[in-house]
Structure 1
Amino acid sequence: MVERYGASRTTVRAAAARLIHEGLLERTTRGMLIQERPREQILQVYDAWALLEAAAVEQAAQAATEADLQELERLLTGHRRHDGGQGNRLDLHLKFHEALWDASHNPVLVGLLLSLNTRLLQVATSTLAQPGRWQVALDEHGKILTALRAGSGPEAADLARDHILSAREARLEMWRNEHHRP
């Protein structure tokens, strides 16, 4: 990486150490390997994400500025017009969630959610690849935004939690379908 990207050895070592600490890389005798997450751990990440996202969204209902809400509306409008590939959908989806977290104005929650998100990105296929899942996610985002606009923290939190648990269920369905293929 030092030669290929022109990064300093110190920077590469620090980045590798952090990825090892977060469980994303494993040091082996032949170098570094990307750690695969067991399914149970992935489900635990979804459970933690649901709790933390609900907390962030509930705080956002009180802390969000008009600029925060306008950014969320802009993102949602752009997502509804989107007709690109699955990878781009994932990027758009993550931008909406990051804007939700930022609207809480709680950097500790944002940091925790970003860390969980990094763990989920290790999963090869996004649940948004499932037929109809993109539209379901957009509808759920719209309901969360409506509750935020109304200043209803508990309702927004419930909707956010349900949204993440819906993604968790979609993940389980993807795994079930993997086992039933010929």
Structure 2
Amino acid sequence: MAKDDSDIYAALLQAIERGEFQPGSRLIETELAERFKVSRTPVREVLNRMESQGIASRDGKGGLIVAELSQDQLGELYDIREVLEGFAARLAARHAAPAEIELLKEMIASGKLVEGEARELAIANKQFHQQLHNCTHNQYLQQMLSSVQRSLALLSGTTLAEPARVVVSEKEHRMLVEAIENRDEDKAEQVARNHVKNAYKTRLKIELGW
């Protein structure tokens, strides 16, 4: 049960990621307060925070809803994600400690990035990228990447629901870790940027129903 603002925020964001609140769904204080067994005050604080982050927006009646991304916004989101993930990979190749690289290799070897249901794959993938972001040793870049991740929560489903994407993604992860281990900054950035570009292509197919 959520007990404070941070708990409520995390729980609501996870619910949005799971699709329990679809883009355009109303976010009603009283209903959320009942859901999380808290007063309306912390819920209001969380909703204000989400609105400031672009996760929630106002509808025509002034109420809060889960934000909806237009096709243009989707492209903009992946554009900035490509740049940030590429730079993160470059910094990881420069700064990652041997133990951090070993952890990335262990995450790949575990099979969790290729085996399981789509949601399980998405969770494992998020953990892998979080570890990669930690390897940058740059807190400001990590904050920007966290902001992008929050916006990605607004997208329905996961690109890893597509079997072909899982296969390609796993290959890209291996190439990325190899480049980081070899301290090849240019290669690491190139692989990371291509990784995001390919994810975007799959995302477009999902959003457009191809």
**What TM-score results when the alignment is normalised by the length of structure 1?**
0.89
Equivalent residue, structure 1, for 2:33 = 2
CA distance in 2, matches of 1:83, 1:2: 37
Instruction: Determine helix, strand or coil for the equivalent of 1:75.
Output: helix
Structure 2 unaligned blocks of 5 or more = 1-31
Residue 81 to residue 25, structure 1, CA distance change in 2 (3 Å): closer
Instruction: Determine helix, strand or coil for the equivalent of 1:33.
Output: strand
Pairing 1:41-56 to 2, within 5 Å after superposition: 41-56=73-88
Please say if 1:171 is aligned against 2:191.
Answer: no
* Matched AA of 2:152: L
Instruction: Determine helix, strand or coil for the equivalent of 1:61.
Output: helix
Please say if 1:11 is aligned against 2:11.
Answer: no
RCO higher in structure (CA 8 A, sep ≥6): 1
Residue 33 to residue 75, structure 1, CA distance change in 2 (3 Å): same
Aligned 8 A contact 1:79 1:138 in 2: no
Would you say how many aligned residue pairs link Structure 1 and Structure 2?
178
Q: Alignment partner for residue 125 of structure 1, among 157, 162, 165?
A: 157
Equivalent residue, structure 1, for 2:5 = none
Q: Alignment partner for residue 104 of structure 1, among 100, 116, 136?
A: 136
Aligned 8 A contact 1:42 1:120 in 2: no
Aligned 8 A contact 2:114 2:167 in 1: no
Aligned 8 A contact 2:113 2:124 in 1: no
CA distance in 1, matches of 2:204, 2:58: 30
Structure 1 unaligned blocks of 5 or more = none
CA distance in 2, matches of 1:110, 1:81: 22
Q: Which moved more, 1:136-145 or 1:30-39?
A: 30-39
Instruction: Determine helix, strand or coil for the equivalent of 1:76.
Output: helix
Pairing 1:21-170 to 2, within 5 Å after superposition: 21-28=52-59, 29=61, 31-79=63-111, 82-170=114-202
CA distance in 2, matches of 1:73, 1:10: 44
CA distance in 2, matches of 1:89, 1:58: 25
* Matched AA of 1:139: K
* Matched AA of 2:203: R
Residue 10 to residue 70, structure 1, CA distance change in 2 (3 Å): farther
CA distance in 1, matches of 2:39, 2:143: 26
Instruction: Determine helix, strand or coil for the equivalent of 1:36.
Output: coil
CA distance in 2, matches of 1:145, 1:111: 22
Instruction: Determine helix, strand or coil for the equivalent of 1:79.
Output: coil
| CA-CA distance at 1:3 after TM superposition | 4.0
Deviations 1:5-48 (A, max 9, x none): 23454432221111001111124547421111112101111110
| CA-CA distance at 1:88 after TM superposition | 0.6
Deviations 1:141-173 (A, max 9, x none): 000000000011111011101100111111223
